[in-house]
Structure 1
């Protein structure tokens, strides 16, 4: 059973200053699944992502990617195993070009020997793949512009490109629609919907109307615990979901 899962989380616990943030969290994601994580602010959603990616170490519990226990793996080893993510707060190099940012995201996964005095643009394979991915998110025409020159919604798409260029098997999206206009949301939603089924997508999002269109399964977290987990329609219809998150 475990080997057939893209991502398996078992009894994950994390505490800060003695206060629990995730409490016995368990979750199973199948290959190609579209999974939504919801919950009030402070429910532990981003903390859970940080444990899955290795940015935070759990106090106890287990994380597996395609049957391999990665609980003690460093973040770069998890990336090599097929895990990628975006962040709630955009993390880009503002004074570098879009192409440079996407190339950097790809560099760590390649066995190319990097010479720091040699511009990334001289690595033809990296540059070509970065530009292909920027084209995929509709930003090829801005490839040579610095990130500081582009709009907020375009920065969200650059970050998505940085995750997609790694060709992940499991992609974690932390509020990818946050702060976007209606038009920008439609664009990013279409990009997420176009991600091939070779990639499982796990998303944290507060824009419920948009997120539910994309999700097949849903997990509701509250105070670091899983309250409801299962098929989208069943979770949304559950009275605990209305009580904790959606309201009457």
Structure 2
């Protein structure tokens, strides 16, 4: 018999991170349900990206626990968390600009296979991954640019490539770090639609400063300030909370 799936996609328990004498996350505890759409907000320097880096494994906390579907991943490397279903995008786009869109997405898929270590093999060897990469590019409206180098496409299209790379891994938890940053109004509409279309099997946790757009996608909101959780809960309750207005919305 298959064991029941844990109710929580992600559990963060008393997470702390310090650089020198500065504590950038302080006793953060969160529980995020499967399929939830969670928005992380806060002023610059609040610890939002640092929190994402700890969840993804790019940064190790000084203390605390991170559980992914009930499994303690606090000490696991990023690729092992990816194997458990965690994927992310970054605030600063991280793509191989000299390579094509198809190659970028294929490399992301290759990282999930044991054969990722056989770097002597050309990407043409992995025909199944190339086909999957093209299918994913089609879902974000970029199949017609699959053979173009990343350096030749617009900034908004690069954002969509990064989203395609994350989605190609069929994540169970997807971290989106400012996916709308630097986009035009039309590009924001496109990316917002893509995020809204992500299946409910995937839990989406997003950092975003475009509040009007982000709140349309979020069900729950966490406000961070100085590395601490200030308010956490249902979207409307958090936005109405006077602490949110004081710390972040500036009312």
Q: TM-score range by the shorter chain?
A: over 0.9
Distance 2:85 2:139 in 1: 20
Describe the SS at the equivalent of 1:163: helix
CA 1:223 to 1:113, structure 2 compared with 1: closer, same or farther past 3 Å? closer
Q: Please tell me whether residue 55 in structure 1 is matched to residue 58 in structure 2.
A: yes
Task: Give the corresponding residue for 1:203.
Answer: 206
Task: Give the corresponding residue for 1:79.
Answer: 82
Equivalent of 2:138 in 135, 150, 158: 135
Unmatched 5+ stretches in structure 1: none
CA 1:166 to 1:113, structure 2 compared with 1: closer, same or farther past 3 Å? closer
TM-score by length of 1: 0.97
Q: Please tell me whether residue 121 in structure 1 is matched to residue 124 in structure 2.
A: yes
- CA shift for structure 1 position 47: 0.2
Task: Give the corresponding residue for 1:244.
Answer: 247
Distance 1:138 1:209 in 2: 24
- CA shift for structure 1 position 17: 1.0
Unmatched 5+ stretches in structure 2: none
Q: Please tell me whether residue 165 in structure 1 is matched to residue 168 in structure 2.
A: yes
Distance 2:241 2:108 in 1: 40
Distance 2:229 2:118 in 1: 46
- CA shift for structure 1 position 111: 3.6
* Residue correspondences, number: 248
Describe the SS at the equivalent of 1:6: strand
CA-based RMSD of the aligned residues comes to: 1.4
- CA shift for structure 1 position 7: 0.4
- CA shift for structure 1 position 200: 0.2
Describe the SS at the equivalent of 2:6: helix
TM-score by length of 2: 0.96
CA contact (8 A) 2:66 2:73 kept: yes
Which range moved further: 107-116 or 85-94? 107-116
